[in-house]
Amino acid sequence: GQQLNQSPQSMFIQEGEDVSMNCTSSSIFNTWLWYKQDPGEGPVLLIALYKAGELTSNGRLTAQFGITRKDSFLNISASIPSDVGIYFCAGHNTDKLIFGTGTRLQVFP
Amino acid sequence: DAGVIQSPRHEVTEMGQEVTLRCKPISGHNSLFWYRQTMMRGLELLIYFNNNVPIDDSGMPEDRFSAKMPNASFSTLKIQPSEPRDSAVYFCASSLNRGNTEAFFGQGTRLTVV
């Protein structure tokens, strides 16, 4: 099935560093969402974006809906150990949520 | 609300056996989705329902897979007969309605077919 391309695939950073990841698609989406998945759990919604150009924050997380509607970015500031996990972007068009390939984040103390 | 509830959390079965996965969506949510997650293919949408009616099952791998939603609070995904390549984590998710994009996921069922 269709998937969105996320980069980087994995990141290894030190506690306190900022993190940036992005998601690109060849298709236009009307909504972008970012999820985090902890080991053994289902994805949990972090941020939802509904308009091109929109910039939204949720605590230390900031996400943007790209102007072209074909990409989105997620930034995490001042990372902490509990930020460890896999981050997925998801694009929504018509009735379906299409998920990205994921970015695995590892935070070292 | 307890969120989306899936059962069982883990299932190990022999090849050829029938497997039934269960899902209870969040109360009041009218859309329900079944996803499969594997290392190779990531999160794939298998099928989704709106108001208990299947809307799109184009992601269902083959005829061995079937899904039902007999009422607003219960859905099943059945695999018969199961094969080793069906081993994956299966997630159920629900959202408020068809136009609402925010889907909430259950904890998943880890299926191992030996």
Q: Do A41 and B107 touch (CB under 8 A)?
A: yes
Q: Note whether A42 contacts B91, CB cutoff 8 Å.
A: yes
Q: Tell me whether residues B91 and A43 touch, CB distance under 8 A.
A: yes
The three-class DSSP label of residue B83 is: coil
Nearest CA in chain B to A45: B104
Contact B31, B96 (CB under 8 A): yes
Q: Is-contact B55 B33, C-beta < 8 A?
A: no
A44-83: pLDDT as tens digits? 999 999 999 999 999 999 999 999 999 999 999 999 999 9
From chain A, pick out residues whose CB is under 8 angstroms from the CB of B104: 45
Indicate which of B6, B36, B43, B92 best probes the interface with A, i.e. most A CBs within 10 Å of its own CB. Answer: B43
Model pLDDT, residue B2: 80
Return the percentage of chain A with pLDDT > 90, whole number. Answer: 83
Element spanning B22, H or E: strand B19-24
Q: Which chain B residues are within 8 Å of A1, Cβ to Cβ?
A: 41, 44-45, 59
Instruction: Identify residue B94 by its one-letter amino acid code.
Output: S
* Residue A1 in this model has a pLDDT that exceeds 60: no
Lowest mean pLDDT, pick from A15-19, A95-99, B26-30, B63-67: A95-99
pLDDT at A93: 77
- B111: how many CB neighbours lie within 10 A of its CB? 21
Picking from B101, B109, B89, B102, the residue whose alpha carbon sits closest to that of residue B44 is B89
H helices within B1-114, ranges in order? none
- Name the residue among B42, B45, B105 with its Cβ closest to that of A42: B105
Residues of A in contact with B59 (CB under 8 A): 1
Length of chain B: 114
Element (H, E) at A22: strand A19-24
**Residue B62 has what pLDDT?**
85
Digit-by-digit pLDDT tens for chain B (114 residues) are 689 999 999 999 999 999 999 999 999 999 999 999 998 888 999 999 999 999 999 999 889 999 999 999 999 999 999 999 999 999 999 998 776 678 899 999 999 999
Interface test with A, best of B55, B57, B101, B102 (most A CBs within 10 A): B101
> Between A97 and A47, whose confidence is greater?
A47
Alpha-carbon torsion B89, A46, A48, A2, what sign?
negative
Q: Judge whether B2 and B103 are in contact, CB under 8 Å.
A: no
Q: For the purposes of burial, counting CB atoms within 10 Å of the CB of A52, is it exposed (0-12), middle (13-18) or buried (19 or more)?
A: middle
